[in-house]
Chains A and B, each alone.
Chain A
Amino acid sequence: MSKPRVAFFDFTGCEGCQLQVVNLEADLLGILDHIDIVSFREAMKEHSDNYDIAFVEGSITRRSDESRLKAIRKNTSTLIALGSCAAIGGINCLKNFFELDYVRETVYGEKATSYETYAARPLKAVVPVDYEIPGCPISRNEFIYVLKSLLLGKKPEIPNYPVCVECKLAGNVCAFERGMPCLGPITRAGCGAACIREGGACWGCRGLVDEPNTDSQREILAKYGLDLTDIFRKFRLYNGYSEVAK
């Protein structure tokens, strides 16, 4: 059997998620025995439009992006959204809360109209997406898990329980106990509570679990005397595209 052909693409984003793939280092060299990477502009000159699995990073922020994404969708049997920008819209959606003309003028002044932009959105707003690897940046382990599952012909399943579960397992001191507003109770796990572990609180970068218990989140906030507006402000950071922030 020939090796699956894998391609990487990017739209609007920081390319930090592809960097996590590069950062797999020695593991990546092992993976290369089982796949052929046929396109990865950030790392290689070779390119082919013939591939089986496409990892796509970044949000869609221009109408002209859509045709390129649709072409990728047409070329691949499996399309995976890589990172928060691609999976849930992520930080790029912050600009959606401003009038677009205001945003453009802030950055480009009177030449604003020469620069094309529209409301930032995840890939799934434009084409069907088969799997998502959320996170800002993605977890390297989760990337390997998803790729391995696909190579084994299995459907990758990422966690559908909140970050709080991983946080408790890790024995972290609760961010609320430290007086920090935390999105852990409603955010999809899989990061190993990466921000709480490092002395912070959850920013919600992996998006919501499928049925978030927002009532319980409100109760927790009330219990710790935290302001709901702080939570909404924080929620919009990565989840501006989802209904809850609107």
Chain B
Amino acid sequence: MSMRKYQRLQMHRIPYTDLTEAQMSEALRPTASGPVSRSALSNVLAGRQLRIVTDGGPVLEYRFRNARELELAENGGRPIRAGYGALEDRSLVLVSHMIPGTQRGYKLIVDQHTGLATVFEVYFSGYAPQEIAAAREAGREPQFRNGRRNREAQRRIWFGYVDRGGPAPTARHTYTNRLEGKGIYWKQDDDIEILEFYLSIIYSNFIELTRFGGELTVCAPSDYIMVNDHQFIYSRIECEFSGIFTLQVIDLFDMTERGVRLGLNEKDELEYSMYTGRGEITGQIATFEVFGNNGETRGPRRVYRPLETFEVMTDEQVRDAVLNKAHAFGDGKGSGAQGMGGYKSELVTHFAGRKLTVRMDDGGPVIEYEFVDARKLRWRYEGDSHWREAWYEMYEPDDRLYFFAHLLDAEFPRSCAMVAFDMKNGLATLVKGTTGSPFRNNETTVKYYFGVLEMEGAPTPPTYLRHGWTDEMVGECVTWNYQPGNPGLTSMHFYATPSAYSWIIFQPDGSGGMQWSSPGWYAKLRDGVYLMSWIEEACNGTLGVICFNQRTMHDAGFGYHVGSRGLSLSVIGARARHAGRFEIRKYLGLKV
């Protein structure tokens, strides 16, 4: 059991201040003197001059006056003075400084051996101009639904070299997929512990063990650059959250890192520090590019912005949707094979004409069913004389283990019931999804109830044994192909903690692309058969529940969503491949 410190709000729920440019300038003022660091900063550059030439970017002429102060002339301009910090990893030097009086600065990674350099120009208050330009090009209005994001760091990356007076080298550091699929646990010199997962070539996800207690994983647009076979540059920006920028030089030979963190935290406090850390590999999962694709020409790094695109609805709009525009499984015509149901299994119809009671423990729901036909059922709460009709669909994800779902009463907020019942042992689990959360009207919430079933011919259920919560899936990565076709609709799930998961969307070349994460819940029904659910909080609010059979590598599940087009209950059916597993249990306080 983890005894870590938890936060009242997770990152996706924190109402980060929409700071003005003037507020940002003020907040960044202390950066002029350079970063702080617990580890000793390097003096390797003191007294030296470097002229860095970049491809298509700036020419930076540095004079390092001492170990903490430099002079910089950009593109032959007037030199400015700034505080800086530097850390060494073998022949690499990581330098970080800002330009006093501005909201921008540089992070340099200079290889003293090869003379190659990578330059990150990092700046703030840059989101709005980009959005305005993008909107103009697309012929739409700029969107600032979630603010102007001045606090969000932006970066430009240039590859180049140190001009030593001779011919310019032809080699460069390059973008890469050589970190893709790797997970690392880091313990930094400032006692921060973090689990990082490089599951994409443009995104990463991480579990903040120290800062947030390790309950959830979150995702951030990221850059991966290869210096050589064992040294890499990794950076991320916590877009949609605090906007903090992180850059690390990772050395896979001795599993160390040198990093810099720059930005404002959730309390709008400046964090500008350099750090070192020691790491442990937690796993290496499969990657899905063709051999020979090394990710060097990865294309632009896109940013997924669910907080911006989330369709926010009023109480009245949601009320109208759930009462007047509610549809389950095509209203009896079948849910079709669109979307996430392209590989749904055969519909179970043989319960038509039979009765079932599911009895949940501890005052949970007790529901009586009559299956009228293959798609229509009647239900009522025990003791209630009033039968309601509802459309349902039922599947058999494992031998004589059934999973069906239907809408509950037409009321606001509105709920659905998803019921897994085991005809081998009499156990049942009811997952109740309900519209509305304390944060948004058109999100959903979920509640699990464990109990038993009663049916003619069913086994007598155990007295004490129940389906129950599990952490057995923690660390697993599974691809899900939802539709036939090349490539069809395919994602990868990473079951990151007992209460969270992340999904990764593949790019057309098979590399990992954008990803996002949400809370998740895991129950065990049988050995190798799990009932996993997630809610796409602050994303689109959908509740997804799948019964995942690890022997058949298939699932049966349901999606519950409310949006402007109404309330829907639909089927999920997909085919899985095992992508690998991260051994992260010990870092999460779980029994190993």
**B partners with A:** no
Which B positions have Cβ atoms within 8 angstroms of A? none
